[in-house]
Amino acid sequence: MKPKTALIASISGTILVALCCFTPILVILLGAIGLSALVGYLDYILLPALFIMLALTILSYRRYRRCCKR
């Protein structure tokens, strides 16, 4: 994968996870489809996913900068 494509993908993934983590998007969605019992477990999934996506974004940005300096 090209560094620019990886950077764009990781930034969009981080934004998506942050939206689901800090807004009630998933709570409303899970309630609408009848899976509201899973709402209590969202913190166990979304917070580690947010940290992983932030790490991937930082890694992708470093690879992009290293590639563009050449």
pLDDT per residue as tens digits for the range 35-58: 888 888 888 988 999 999 999 999
| The total number of structural domains that make up the chain | 1
Please, which pLDDT band fits residue 61 given cuts at 50, 70 and 90? very high
| pLDDT of res. 13 | 93
Instruction: Identify the domain containing residue 9 by its residue range.
Output: 3-69
pLDDT in tens, 11-40: 999 999 998 888 888 888 889 999 888 888
| pLDDT of res. 70 | 66
Tokens of 44: 């166990």
- Which residues are CB-contacts of 37 (< 8 A; sequence separation ≥ 6)? none
Give backbone dihedrals phi and psi of 24, rounded to 5 degrees, phi first: -80, 30
Q: Secondary structure of the chain in the HEC alphabet? A: CCHHHHHHHHHHHHHHHHHHHHCCHHHHHHHHCCCHHHHHHHHHHHHHHHHHHHHHHHHHHHHHHHHHHC
Residue with tokens 């689901």: 20
